[in-house]
Structure 1
């Protein structure tokens, strides 16, 4: 199995994989994910790094602190799940598209 393995070629392949992974990660981090809760009363956006970049709260919630908190928690959890799912998807795509053994 390993008798045809050229370590020089393997090094090149690993460098290519690393460069591809870096490019994919940068693209993923620049994406914006948005989740809504309460029928759109609360909207939370996060970038691919999982950083919250925007929160929109409908004016009707300003007098109902408890509802606002529940809807914020829900939207934040949803958007962070979206970011995590994207990270998993990117990792799986990277793994499936690279084969250092060339088979």
Structure 2
């Protein structure tokens, strides 16, 4: 019975930690860049684009396709950074817990 109460207590503690983690992730912002910093994209922890910065040197009519590619690359870079930060925070939260391999948090 003590083990069951201990597990319930740990489950409640984990639930509150997960909620705090989700709130922290929502406030997270990461900036990705491409073209050597000519294009920068900032995403929230929910992968919402918060800002887009484009170096004025890229505003030439012939370079529209290049600019589009750089924006996509910067967005993907920022998204990868947000996902990596989320994984690291989840890893810190679940350190020492017997979680099955491949299970991702937050759910």
TM-score, normalised relative to structure 1: 0.83
Q: What is the number of equivalent residue pairs in this alignment? A: 96
Which structure 1 residue ranges, 5 or more long, are not aligned? none
Partner of 2:54: 57
TM-score, normalised relative to structure 2: 0.80
CA-atom RMSD in angstroms: 1.7
1:20-75 alpha-carbon deviations (Å, 9 max, x no partner): 11112211220110011112110100011111111111122121201101111110
The secondary structure found in structure 1 opposite 2:46 is coil
Structure 1 residue runs of 4+, over 3 Å off? none
Q: Which has the larger radius of gyration?
A: 1
Which structure 2 residue ranges, 5 or more long, are not aligned? 99-107
